[in-house]
Amino acid sequence: MIRKITYREAVREALQQALRQDPRVFLMGEDVGAYGGTYAVSKGLLDEFGPERIRDTPLSELGFVGAGIGAALGGMRPIVEVMTVNFSLLALDAIVNTAALYRHMSGGQFSVPVVIRMATGAGRQVAAQHSHSFEGWYAHIPGIRIVAPATVQDARGMLAACLADPDPVLFFEHAQLYNLEGEVDDDAVVDITRACVRRPGSDVSLITYGGSLPKAMAAADTLAGLGISAEVIDLRVLRPLDDATLVASVRKCRRAVIVDEGWRSGSLAAEIMARLVEQAFYDLDAPLARVCSEEVPIPYSKHLEEAALPQPGKIVAAARALFGKAG
């Protein structure tokens, strides 16, 4: 059955399904219970599943992420919610030095099947300490899988696959997407291994993920009106990257723009560009281009925040420049 729901509702349904199907699954985090979650994603779950499985935690990311990792090692399937990616930095030691390493350090004897959900991204005027995009940092770390659902279908379907993964998964939900409406096919099987061509094209590849996907799609519409056929690639999974899909698109289109809300320096966009140069350099008709956030903390002021972030107009300009056209 195909239905139309919001991204927020899709994540809530995915949580609800996981909790109903597996008694080992529980949700823990700040305000996930009585308050219903900072973004109302877990609203109503406490009433259905009770405080043993919907657990409000203190404001201590290192403490409750560590508790979730311990529960996973003990045979549970915890879903840990961190309010925003900025706050996850307080739990870096637990994620990077424990969850990501135990399988390797134990010679495969132990796995850490924990899913850590967090909101990411800017565009909501909540200032720098709540607005950055650090998923590219985490994508640097071996031992964890990074997913970034950009569509309602992926928001609904990815969680089950993440819970089935024996290793830690970081699940990034761009806060600008929660009100997004889209269709969900209840019979669809959603994987967490491949990128997806969201719009086919032949002249330039627009490669992006998460909250930047709607902007890339809007840019593709504008480019079409200018006679440029843009193919839009949704990465979906940031680690491991699906090189095959990216290279195939670039070999077809021969030009590419990578759109990444992270900062330009040391960005995921830079890693993708390096891989494309390594694997498809001689297929390119123009230098690779990227559109990233400006190298500043995300501003509070609405007009400055918008100026600091990737926008459809910037993507269009970058794509046109690959054809020797200005603006």
Q: Which helix (H) or strand (E) holds 63?
A: helix 61-73
Q: Which DSSP string do the residues of 296-323 spell out, in sequence order? A: SPPPSSHHHHHHHS--HHHHHHHHHHTT
CA distances from 17 to 12, 22, 30, 107, 288 (A): 9, 9, 21, 33, 42
CA distances from 32 to 90, 151, 316 (A): 19, 23, 39
What are the φ/ψ torsions at residue 36 (nearest 5 degrees)?
A: 85, 15
Residue whose structure tokens are 């597996």:
22
Q: What token pair was written down for 132?
A: 């950055």
Q: Which helix (H) or strand (E) holds 222?
A: helix 213-225
User: Which one is catalytic: 9, 81, 130, 231?
Assistant: 130
Known catalytic residue: 61? yes
**Spatial CA neighbour of 290 closest among 304, 279, 305, 276:** 276
User: Which one is catalytic: 9, 13, 30, 61?
Assistant: 61
Angle at 290 between CA 284 and CA 293, to 5 degrees: 175
CA distance 258 to 103: 33
Known catalytic residue: 48? no
CA distance 65 to 71: 10
Enumerate the active-site residues: 61, 130
